[in-house]
Chain A
């Protein structure tokens, strides 16, 4: 009875009866469409191939130790990704630690406290902020945030933790350009993105669910905490992972403020380097075909692996496509 529409109807003229020109057009169009699909399909393979090919001299020269060796020494021509991997992960996690609670607060305020009339304009403003090029965030960090932190924050915090075990090391004296500043700039950068998605998720909670809990006498906070949050759990995780992905690969916002020092320090107020900041910063010093260039491409491979892992984890957690 209910046959798929694509099945031929018995006795109907065979498709060959269609005019030759139509068949030609059909073939041309489906060919073009499939070809474009294949280009996209091949693009990823080409990117991986090119990166690995370019990085090959460094990867074979240093072996797998390249991925954890904390030495990056242009003079001795010895390169390892250890410091940059640490810097990349540290700045990104710092950014999430700052941005996620803030975004949650903004989303809560926006969906539950702020009057209805204000919500749409504020929502649009948040979306526009998310579109501002990252280099603007970097400039702001460099000219405004870093000097402010150097003057008013770093010394005071370091003073407070002098002599305290562990924390004294983490909050050791440093400068305005630091891992901490980079994390803060990244936090501000991903804040609009995460907030916009959080607002969407909170708004997607079925009204009837919320109202039935209100009907039981719950407060606004309890409705968010016990209804909206569990209901949108997967989407929240997806949004956070997307923010993490954005922070991990960010170049310009970080390069301006991290100080680009390729040595390891436990202090978050020390200068540091991320994978992308090192690539951006040192590429011009690396001659074509040099071991350094290969090592920089090796950093690229490392970054690719890290972001691939993050994407895989988020897909596994969310269980479907992560919306952008």
Chain B
């Protein structure tokens, strides 16, 4: 074997070792995160976490109000974002192909998609909190909606563009008006893809903390009033993780484990839904 060939072989081997090392290092870091999450979260995860509200240190509080608060705000967010997102995605895919307004809207949606979530929180603060002079669950829900909308727009448009044109033409040839072609043919064909997009958006906003800081503020007490500040799981974690008390820090880990499990389960469902279709 020539010197050149053996050098090339050596380079190849070294590259493989370096890549393997990088993979191991990455696994180590990410494994450490999951391990910490389970090791600290699982012992702290008792039934009382789900059944009692947040309480000062030493009073055996839980996260019930934060969990319910998160559910309420995420529900508000998704109820607002889903119809707007699907319709806007449909507009981009079915009504605005090649039009100027469509191109600009697509660009705007892309910017929104990559806009830092904390800016959305500031936006809703100026729009709803500063004007109404009160932090509220509404404001939190709207902030989450603003984050979810561009995600749903993007997947809806992408999934609709995968529907064969021939399918639409066949329906149109039978005399179906455009809105029927879109709702009965295109939407139905893209159903599982759009559902996946909605689920992924749901998983994403469920873990968002920054946009809630200035909108729903957090609340240590039980409150389901939509016009009042409301607790949420990510905010409770943020408040408790930085606290000097061990029992509160433990609760933060329990909450962290809960929210990660929730997000992962939604993601797995979404992947399965998409995988089955493929």
Q: List chain A residues, Cβ under 8 A from B108.
A: 40-41, 43-44
Q: Which chain B residues (118-135) contact chain A, with CB distance < 8 Å?
A: 118-120, 122-123, 125-127, 130, 133
Report yes or no: B264 in contact with A131, Cβ–Cβ below 8 A.
Answer: yes
Would you call A136 an interface residue if the criterion is a C-beta within 8 Å of the partner chain's C-beta atoms? yes
User: Interface stretch among A49-57, A63-71, A167-175, A207-215?
Assistant: A49-57
Number of interface residues of A (CB under 8 A): 88
Would you call B220 an interface residue if the criterion is a C-beta within 8 Å of the partner chain's C-beta atoms? no
Which residue of B21, B23, B177 contacts A18 across the interface (Cβ within 8 Å)?
B177
Distance of A22 Cα from B26 Cα, bound (Å): 58
Distance of A280 Cα from B206 Cα, bound (Å): 18
Q: Is the interface of A mostly helix, strand, loop or mixed?
A: helix
**Residues of chain B at the chain A interface (Cβ within 8 Å):** 8-9, 11-12, 15-16, 18-23, 25-26, 29-30, 32-33, 36-37, 40, 83-88, 90-92, 94-96, 101-102, 104-106, 108-120, 122-123, 125-127, 130, 133, 146, 149-151, 153-154, 169, 172, 177-179, 182-183, 200, 203-204, 206-210, 213-214, 234, 237-238, 241-242, 252-253, 256, 259-260, 263-264, 267-268, 271
16 contacts between A and B (CB under 8 A): A32-B87, A40-B149, A46-B123, A54-B130, A129-B30, A133-B206, A136-B37, A144-B33, A219-B8, A219-B11, A220-B12, A220-B16, A245-B114, A251-B118, A252-B209, A300-B119
Report yes or no: B105 in contact with A37, Cβ–Cβ below 8 A.
Answer: yes
Using known A-B contacts A30-B178, A142-B241, A311-B111, determine if residue A51 contacts B22 with beta carbons closer than 8 Å.
no
Report yes or no: A43 in contact with B33, Cβ–Cβ below 8 A.
Answer: no
Would you call A101 an interface residue if the criterion is a C-beta within 8 Å of the partner chain's C-beta atoms? yes
> Which residue of A has the minimal Cβ distance to B165?
A5
Distance of A194 Cα from B203 Cα, bound (Å): 19
Report yes or no: A124 in contact with B271, Cβ–Cβ below 8 A.
Answer: yes
> Which residue of A has the minimal Cβ distance to B271?
A124
Interface string of A73-113 (1 = CB under 8 A from B): 00000000000000000000000000001111110111011
Distance of A32 Cα from B179 Cα, bound (Å): 11
Report yes or no: B95 in contact with A34, Cβ–Cβ below 8 A.
Answer: yes
Report yes or no: B36 in contact with A140, Cβ–Cβ below 8 A.
Answer: yes
Would you call A258 an interface residue if the criterion is a C-beta within 8 Å of the partner chain's C-beta atoms? no
Which residue of B16, B26, B209, B271 contacts A221 across the interface (Cβ within 8 Å)?
B16
Minimum CB–CB distance from B219 to chain A (whole Å) comes to 14
Report yes or no: A137 in contact with B11, Cβ–Cβ below 8 A.
Answer: no
Minimum CB–CB distance from B145 to chain A (whole Å) comes to 10
Distance of A150 Cα from B95 Cα, bound (Å): 57
Report yes or no: A252 in contact with B259, Cβ–Cβ below 8 A.
Answer: no
Using known A-B contacts A37-B105, A110-B23, A135-B207, determine if residue A51 contacts B237 with beta carbons closer than 8 Å.
no
Q: List chain A residues, Cβ under 8 A from B85.
A: 36
Using known A-B contacts A139-B256, A251-B118, determine if residue A128 contacts B111 with beta carbons closer than 8 Å.
no
Q: List chain A residues, Cβ under 8 A from B112.
A: 40, 43-44, 47
Minimum CB–CB distance from B205 to chain A (whole Å) comes to 10
Interface centre among B40, B94, B122, B241 (most CB of A within 10 A): B122
> Which residue of B has the minimal Cβ distance to A224?
B15
Q: Which chain A residues (1-39) contact chain B, with CB distance < 8 Å?
A: 5, 18, 22, 25-26, 28-30, 32-39
Which residue of A54, A246, A252, A321 contacts B238 across the interface (Cβ within 8 Å)?
A252
Q: Which chain A residues (180-221) contact chain B, with CB distance < 8 Å?
A: 188, 191-192, 195, 219-221
Report yes or no: A113 in contact with B19, Cβ–Cβ below 8 A.
Answer: yes
